[in-house]
Structure 1
Amino acid sequence: HTVTKATAHFPFMHMHAADTGVRQVPDTTLSRSLPAPHAPGMLGAASSLQHCLKTFSRLRTASPLPAHRPSLRRSVVMTATAQTEPAPADVKGRSLDNLKFDNRFTEDLPADEKKLNRLREVEDAVYTWVDPTPTDTEPHTLAASQEVARLIGLDLGELQRPEFAAIFSGNAPLPGAKPYAQCYGGHQFGYWAGQLGDGRAICLGEVVNEAGKHWELQLKGAGKTPFSRMADGRAVLRSSLREYVASEAMAALGVPTTRALSLVATGAGIYRDMFYDGDVKEEPGAVVCRVARSFVRFGTFQLPSARGGEQLGLVRRVADHVIRRHYPHLNGDNGEVSAGNGAAGEDGAASPDPKYLRFLKEVAERTAATVVHWHRVGFVHGVLNTDNMSILGDTIDYGPYAFMERFDPNYTPNTTDLPGRRYAFRAQPAICQFNVLMLGKAFVLAGLLDGEGLQEVVDSFTVALSGAFSDAMRRKLGLRDFDPGLYGDLMALMIQDKPDFTNTWRALSSVAPGDGAEGLTPALAAALGEDLAQERVEAWSAWAAKYRAVLAGQDLPAAERRAMQDAANPALIPRNHVMVSLIAEVESGNTQGLEAYLEALARPYKDGLRESAWKVPAPRQIRKGIELLSCSS
């Protein structure tokens, strides 16, 4: 209880509990006593960030997105997208018939003994075997990533085989695959939700590419699992297309993320109530093949720790698996997992193995780095529950996300989040720290971490966040050293005038000392918009003069500065109003626009005339139907 309550007092971005929506409620499921955190306050404070972000204020957003459902016809798109790590371009890949599987997750960890695909509690296991459910229709490929195909060692010619759509819609088996669904729990909107699990995601297994890298393949929307609760295990095209686009766009932006191999239309209709208002409509179904180094989540550790008893041992087993497979440097030179080699404490009892502390600190640091990337590109996840947090620090589970257009620190794209705005843009760092705290708490309950270690984990997040944030904002401003005052003044202007987040940051590289301009450059003026009142133009001009003076006073060549800024401030990001149009086009059978959009998003830091229309914010008259989304998918 003490730990949960302390989270509400973390003052990142000058927020209080009411701002973040962190609810101070009894956590009855995880109510075992924990060592009290040392004073003053468990989470500490990122004081330098408070100074430069103290001007954030609470604002409001608009209303929901209208539905538009034309019919879907057959079409195929093949796209090339950027990658998060090099993929062998010149090596001929394998066929669908002989992909190399090495299913380490299922080999290392216990499976559910029952093989019943019906709603139930899955205990003493980390996953359950389950096959995709065919739709008995004719699926067809809408998009496929050549770069992701290379990452998993798949020959590009396989993307065009008729069997490709059948396999990656769940209508046909993939040779060598052993499908399963993961079991995990989580905190949802601050409350412990118990067992959750993969309700409509089915892992096919882990494939190994020619470089020896492992990648897990997962079908989202391929049918029911024991974790589907009252849902049908399916996914609609609109949400599937958005997930595919976001996965590949985020990779190109340099943000840690899961990837997407394919987007396949199933040919089957699905009934959904998009805004939970009783307006149920039939929508076209689709399946995304998600690809990741691991789909283990914070909630994978939380569920067995909450259940207690013999299931506490699963926390150690999953941790040992993740460390062995993804953090091998934490095991020492031989890579072997210890059985518990903690040194004896003063009372003679064995203290926790220090590798778990090192592991959690690195998870915290990776998570902090990813949150800063979100802030850098204006990304708002929308549903930062602990079951949507990757143990590798990747962005995972793209639901009602958005890339912010009009600058609003309090913006949340999720209609479900509107009452408390728990997952708003400015709240994401504090919420992710809360999630790290809940992960650490699971290790405390399992006896793998003590109170002091938990404090260290949380502190690691704070330190990593502060350092990464300062460095990212320094680069966005084109500075050799971060200037909190300059940044804070810019935030105050952006909060008041609400310019487009992406375009404003991108335009800053056009400002330079000795550019002959006393006020705004044409690029910055265009980004701010023509409706800016004269007194506001003067305020921005005054800041630009201060900015020029700071730039003039640093020893950094102009070309190097501009290159730094243009590599930190994207020119192109996915915009909701563009995707709404593309979804309508794809549903009517036209995929040419989607293909062109994906090609452009693969080069987000390049300026080009071709995609200039995609850089424009949503017109004022349609904002209210664009800025908000629901979890319906």
Structure 2
Amino acid sequence: MSLGTVVRKHFLLLPLLLLCPSLVGLFLGPVFAASPWSNGRPSSTSTPLLRPRHTCPPALTLDSVMKRYISCSPAIMSLKKQLSEWSFADPKLASLPLDPELDNYVRRFVPKAIFSQCQPTPMKTPRKLVAINEEVLKNILDMDPEIKQDPDFVDFVSGNKVLTGSIPMAHRYGGHQFGSWADQLGDGRAHLLGEYINKLGERWELQLKGSGRTPYSRFGDGRAVLRSSVREFLCSEAMFYLGVPTSRAASLIVTDDPIPRDMFYDGNMKLERGAVVLRLAPTWFRFGSFQILAKHHEQDELNALVDFVLQENFPQIVRSHPDSRDDQILALFRTVCQDTANMVAHWMAVGFAHGVMNTDNMSIKSITIDYGPYGFLDEYDPHYIPNSSDDMGRYDFQNQPTVALWNLQQLALALKSALSESRREELTKPLEEYAKNYQKIFLDIFARKLGFQTIKTSEDMELLAYLLKSLELKNADFTQSFRDLSEISLADLVAKKIPENAWGLKKVLDEEHFQKFMDKYPARLEEENTTDEERMTRMQAANPRYILRNWLAQRAIEMAEKDDFSEVEKLLRVLKKPYTIQKEAEESGYAQPPPKWSKQLRVSCSS
């Protein structure tokens, strides 16, 4: 289907797209490509003999059941202040096909397995706690923040101590990297510690990143450095409070273990400080988890993974389709397509570019994972590339919706053999619906950013096209310009009374496309039948004042390198309320124009 056909079929907006070509990537996103469906069915393989992995608990008595029920009741369950009071849930993930080799050494290929058991490698130098996330500890892990005083806590979150009940494992997955199949990848520097079910009944998987080598480390050392770990710790939480689906971070530690890194792959190797992040997700399975099994025709293992994910991560689908596994798989794929569209639309709304949208970095739960060379827009540039390793610009800002669809097509190919042959073609329908779903979510979010409670597709798209074009032509700041619109009265906007501190909107005041925007914006707001104060309140709740700009993260990193963790802690506090003006953030200049030196900052896949 051609781009013109997509435009005419869905929105009849070709004149607007000619006005602002960047909207092609932002709004329409994908142009569907033919999927290489085949009728071949991968051969089935037998499951390898699994060794016993843990000792079964003693038989339950009525008394023990009642005690456990009472102690886990949300009204009674207290936050744990000692690690000895806290424990992992039963290790269900260890029931999946495991690598029979228990020795931890790097192997280029580990067949017929989903996980390999391997222990984290202890850090050699003293561990220092950079920061903890109190909300995650309390609300997800049922831990009192005072648990950080436990002598074993830092060792636990650094990988130096493995708790009773933990079965550390590294996950085997594959993936397309920059569009090319890379075959086996896997957790090369991450250890899944175990699963936890909290007082709300939520299931979370705890994973250490930077905790040492695994069978999947390839040529790596299994470590992460402080600069990349600070960025991951802060950004996962910033994204959560911006309202973007994401993994979470509980803690960050740093050591003096020397880690050699060539940051820009230019031969300039330097020693950096090692760090470990304890991060959490409902699941760490990715598109590549299914791809590696399908590519190698490991059908039994693929079926086991599909069934596990359905039961543990999408139980509502199983309940809705109790009698048909095919219906469950199709509903799973439809949900992933819809939720991935939602995730990417939220990225676009806050100006976030992931940087490495490989299929191994795409979560099956459609949450943002693996924060590496990401970036938030400063000046509005639809072709913004945060990753200096992305030479071809495959993952630039405006291309993200299209790349997400391409990745979903690869997931569909991986799931195909799990379906009955007669049902496989049905995987195409969610892909065909992706653009429509994405466009609806995208426009809904941007309508709120412009202060609208209702959506008028063609009118609102025209307004957005004018506004974005003016930002692009004048190199105006994306986040600040939308925030300025929310903080200035309509009367002052019409009269061009723009204060000096509205440094985003100030740039476009006399730009031709912004004038066209202002010619129609007041009339569109009148149709909302609301006061200007209500409009401003709504817009301020949809347009952040603070985001994790690269220069803010860099300042925190440089201070942390000198064992001053105050900036990391301050950023964490501020980014938890990104839509609210905060005194300490204003005094720190978090909403001021980026300094000139920030334009020289570069990030890469080296971490």
- Measured after TM superposition, the shift of residue 271 of structure 1 is 0.6
State whether structure 2 residue 473 is matched by structure 1 residue 484.
no
Aligned-partner SS, 1:414:
coil
* SS of equivalent to 1:187: strand
Q: For structure 1, list consecutive stretches of 5 or more residues without a partner in the other structure.
A: 1-8, 15-39, 59-86, 343-352
Is the Cα contact below 8 Å between 2:168 and 2:191 reproduced in 1? yes
Q: Contact 1:166/1:172 (CA < 8 Å) preserved in 2?
A: yes
CA deviation after TM superposition for structure 1 residue 243, in Å: 0.2
Deviation at 1:448, TM superposition (A): 5.1
Please state how far the C-alpha of 1:535 moved relative to its aligned partner.
4.8
Which residue in 2 is equivalent to 1:618?
Answer: 594
Q: Aligned in 2, Cα 1:525/1:596: closer, same or farther, shift over 3 Å?
A: closer
> Is the aligned partner of 1:501 residue 2:478?
yes
Aligned to 1:93: 79
**1:159 alignment counterpart:** 148
- Per the TM alignment, residue 512 of structure 1 is displaced from its structure 2 partner at its CA by 4.3
Partner Cα distance (1:316, 1:230) in 2: 31
DSSP-derived class of the 2:175 partner = strand
The corresponding residue for 1:201 is 190
Task: Report the Cα offset of residue 507 of structure 1.
Answer: 1.1
Counterpart-to-counterpart distance in 2, 1:604 and 1:257: 16
Q: CA, structure 1 residues 499+522, in 2 after alignment: closer, same or farther (shift >3 Å)? A: same
**Residue type at the aligned position of 2:343:** T
> CA shift at 1:523, angstroms?
6.8
The equivalent residue for 2:374 is 401
Change (3 A) 1:126 1:90: same
Partner of 1:472: 445
For the structure 1 residues 559 and 529, does the alpha-carbon distance in structure 2 shift closer, same or farther, using more than 3 Å as the test? Answer: closer
Structure 2 unaligned segments of length 5 or more: list them.
24-72
Mark the CA change 1:525 to 1:598 in structure 2 (over 3 Å): closer, same or farther.
closer
- Percent sequence identity over matched residues? 38
Partner of 1:553: 527
**C-alpha distance 535-195 of structure 1, shift in aligned 2 (>3 A):** same
Structure 1 residues 355, 140: CA separation in 2 closer, same or farther (over 3 Å shift)?
same
Contact 2:467 2:513 in 1 (8 A): no
CA deviation string 1:165-207 (max 9, x = no partner): 1111111112321100011101100001100000101000001
Match of 1:459 in 2: 432
Q: 2:69 is matched with which residue?
A: none
Superposed counterparts of 1:300-379, under 5 Å: 300-308=289-297, 311-332=298-319, 341=324, 353-379=326-352
Match of 2:413 in 1: 441
Q: Which residue of 1 aligns with 2:559?
A: 585
Measure, in 2, the Cα distance between the counterparts of 1:48 and 1:364. Answer: 24
Moved more, 603-612 or 179-188: 603-612
- 2:98 corresponds in structure 1 to 111
Alignment of 1:133-172 (within 5 A): 133-150=121-138, 151-172=140-161
8 Å contact kept, 2:484–2:505: no
Flag the 1:448–1:595 CA change in 2: closer, same or farther, 3 A. farther
| 2:93 pairs with 1:128 | no
* Contact 1:518 1:541 (8 Å CA) reproduced: no
Matching residue's letter, 1:573? I
Letter in 2 for 1:442: A
Which structure has more relative contact order (CA 8 Å, sep 6+)? It is 1
The answer to whether the 8 Å contact 2:383/2:398 transfers is yes
- Indicate conservation of the 8 Å contact 1:56/1:495, yes or no: no
AA aligned to 1:92 is S
Deviation per residue, 1:2-29 (Å, 9 max, x gap):
xxxxxxx774xx9xxxxxxxxxxxxxxx
- Equivalent-residue separation in structure 1 for 2:186 and 2:420 (angstroms): 23
How far, CA to CA, are the matches of 1:10 and 1:145 in structure 2? 47
Helix, strand or coil at the partner of 1:289: strand
TM normalised by structure 1 equals: 0.82
Residue 616 of structure 1 deviates from its aligned partner by 2.3
Q: CA deviation at 1:526?
A: 2.3
Q: 1:299 to 1:498 in 2, by over 3 A?
A: same
**Partner-residue secondary structure (3-state), 1:193:** strand
Structure 1 residues 51, 225: CA separation in 2 closer, same or farther (over 3 Å shift)?
farther
Do 2:485 and 2:505's aligned partners in 1 also have CA atoms closer than 8 Å?
no
Find the aligned partners of 1:10 and 1:426 in 2 and give their Cα distance. Answer: 18
Structure 1's 105 and 463: CA in aligned 2 closer, same or farther, altered over 3 A? Answer: farther
Match of residue 539 from structure 2: 565
Q: State the 1:332 CA deviation.
A: 2.5
* Equivalent residues of 1:406, 1:498 under 8 A apart: yes
Instruction: Report the CA distance shift for 1:448/1:48 in structure 2 as closer, same or farther (over 3 A).
Output: farther
The amino acid that maps onto 1:147 is E
CA distance in 2, matches of 1:469, 1:601: 23
Provide the aligned C-alpha RMSD in A: 2.6
> Would the aligned equivalents of 1:169 and 1:287 in 2 still touch at CA under 8 Å?
yes
Structure 2 counterparts to residues 252-271 of structure 1, below 5 A? 252-271=241-260
One-letter amino acid of the structure 2 residue matched with residue 526 of structure 1: W
Distance in 1 between residues matched to 2:9 and 2:359, nearest whole Å: 22
How far apart, in 1, do the equivalents of 2:196 and 2:293 lie? 28
CA 1:281/1:540 → structure 2, altered by over 3 Å: closer, same or farther?
A: same
Q: Cα–Cα, structure 1 residues 125 and 516, in superposed 2: closer, same or farther, change >3 Å?
A: closer
TM-score normalised to the size of structure 2? 0.85
Structure 2 match to 1:74: none
C-alpha change, 1:568 and 1:91, in structure 2 (3 Å) is: farther
Deviations 1:103-153 (A, max 9, x none): 454244111111121121111111010110012221111000111112112
Distance 1:44 1:555 in 2: 31
Kept in 2, the 8 Å contact 1:437–1:454? The answer is no
- Read off the aligned partner of 2:250 and give its amino acid letter: L
Q: Is the 8 A contact 2:480 2:502 kept in 1?
A: no
The count of residues paired between Structure 1 and Structure 2 equals: 547
Which residue of 2 is the match for residue 23 of structure 1? none
Measured after TM superposition, the shift of residue 48 of structure 1 is 6.2
Partners of 1:498 and 1:88 lie apart in 2 by 51
Matches of 1:595 and 1:326, distance apart in 2: 32
Superposition deviation, residue 57 in structure 1: 5.1
Alpha-carbon deviation of 1:44? 11
**Paired residues of 2:230 and 2:252 also in contact (CA < 8 A):** yes
Q: Counterparts of 1:104 and 1:388 in 2: how far apart (Å)?
A: 24
SS at match of 1:106: helix
- Offset at 1:316? 2.0
1:239 aligned residue: 228
Structure 2 residue aligned with 1:381, among 354, 376, 379?
354
Change (3 A) 1:630 1:518: same
